[in-house]
Each structure stands twice: as structure tokens, then as C-alpha cells.
Structure 1
Amino acid sequence: HIGSGEANQIYCTLENLILLTKNMQTAVEPFTSQIKQILEVIDNFEHDQVRRVYDLFCLLTLGSSSSNESLVYTQKLLTHPTDKKIDVIGIISVAKELGSQASSEQKYRDQACQFLLELAKKLTDPSCRAFMYDEISSIIP
């Protein structure tokens, strides 16, 4: 359903994958590599769908045996100069998830802040920078 091109089907599929991952992560983990392939076609998604894809990616990778994978992926996004809103959503999603884990470890909070600072330094397009500020404001309680 992810490749159908129908917004409702894509969104419902992502929501179901997120619910499955939240409630039965060990059962979903064997399918992580297939689920992560969604990142390869993320350019075709709407911004709300992109947020859900990155939420799913964070759930699957952060806090699991492959937690370094999301950090490496985020570093990769940060090392390439970009003004793509999709990359902004991805970096902020990882920072949001790291920040939510901050109560358990200070290093996660520091890493989240570092990602956001690096992102702010790299963005050159004013509209993309404004988009970043808007995304950050939406995750602050």
C-alpha cells in the first residue's frame, strides 16, 4: 500500500506499522530492513507522510540494537549540504526521539541539540530555514 500513490492508503499503512512497532517491536524487528527501504522512496511522499516514515524509522532504530544506524543516517544528512525539507524533517524527527529519551541519558539530549545546531548552520535557503523553525516549534510541548 505504500507504493500505491494513494495518500490515505500510505498514511494508514504507516500508522499501522507505527502501532505494530510500538506494541510488538520484537515481532517487527525481523522486517526492519524491508521497512527501512521506504526511505528510498520518501521523495514521493507528502510532508505528513514523511514525518510518519521518520517516526517509524526512529522507533525501529533508536533504543534497539541498531540505534547507531539512525545516528549515522542523521550524520549523513548533515554532512551533505541540502535545503530539502524532507531532510529537515528527518533530522528533527531523530532529534525529537533522542530528546524524548533524554530523561534516561544526558548524552541523548546533547546529541539532539548538536543535530539541531548543525542543521541550523547548514541551511542557506530562507524558506527552508523558516520551515525548520516551524518543525521545531511543532515538537516543543
Structure 2
Amino acid sequence: MTLKDIIESNSCELIKINHSGKILDAIKLMKEKNVSGIFVVNEEDKLVSIFTERDIVNCVYHNISFDEILENIVRKDITVFDPFTPLSTAISTAVRKKIRHLPVVDNDRIVGMVTFRDLVTHLLPEICYIAETMY
């Protein structure tokens, strides 16, 4: 199973905000769409970063104004994944890099976002089956 399989089964909307937007705009968008992370894009609609709940916590902790521009606070060195990345590779990378949101990009085009929760949800039946047959 690959990240593409998860994205296709979820069929979620790609939620994006321009990097010149404010932190507060991103928070409002996340609340409105009921998501834990969104894509931050430039004027050409190319992925610049992602903005997540963890970023909100960091802003609060560091007393960063919610009027601050996203471009000034988001990480530029994000890890992106190919749609055909196997789940085992995605999970080990996410654990090693301590990330919970996995942006999936194909030829510079945003394909989707897979969360750690998505990974667990898709693997849970197999995990339960293994646990039941082993014990």
C-alpha cells in the first residue's frame, strides 16, 4: 500500500493558503475546514510549506502575533513525499523526523496530505488481525 492509496480513499479537498496570508487567516481556515494542517503556497500555487496545529502552539509559546505573515514563520525545509511512497517508508520517515503531516507532491503538483492518523486508520485492521491471531 502507498500514500496514493490513502489519498484516493480519503478524497479530501486540498486546503491551501497563500504564503503572504496571516497566521490568523490560516487558523480560521483550519477551523472552518476542520483540519489540523494546510498547505502554504506561493503565487504560482507551488508548495512552500505546511501550517499545522504544532505551528499554532509554537506561535503562542513564542508570543508571535497572529497578524504575522505566514512566510515569516513557516519552515522552508519540509519533507515531501511521492504518491508511490510505501506506507512503511512513510511511517519510518515520519517517526524519525517527528512529523505528523505528510505532504504528498507529484511533479511539483500538490496531490494531498496524509496525517499520521490516516496511516493508523488504514493499518488498524491489519494490526488488530495480527494481534488477534498471535495471542
Q: Return the structure number with greater strand share.
A: 2
Q: Return the structure number with greater helix share.
A: 1
| TM-score normalised over the length of structure 1 | 0.26
| Structure with bigger RCO (C-alpha 8 Å, 6+ apart) | 2
| TM-score normalised over the length of structure 2 | 0.27
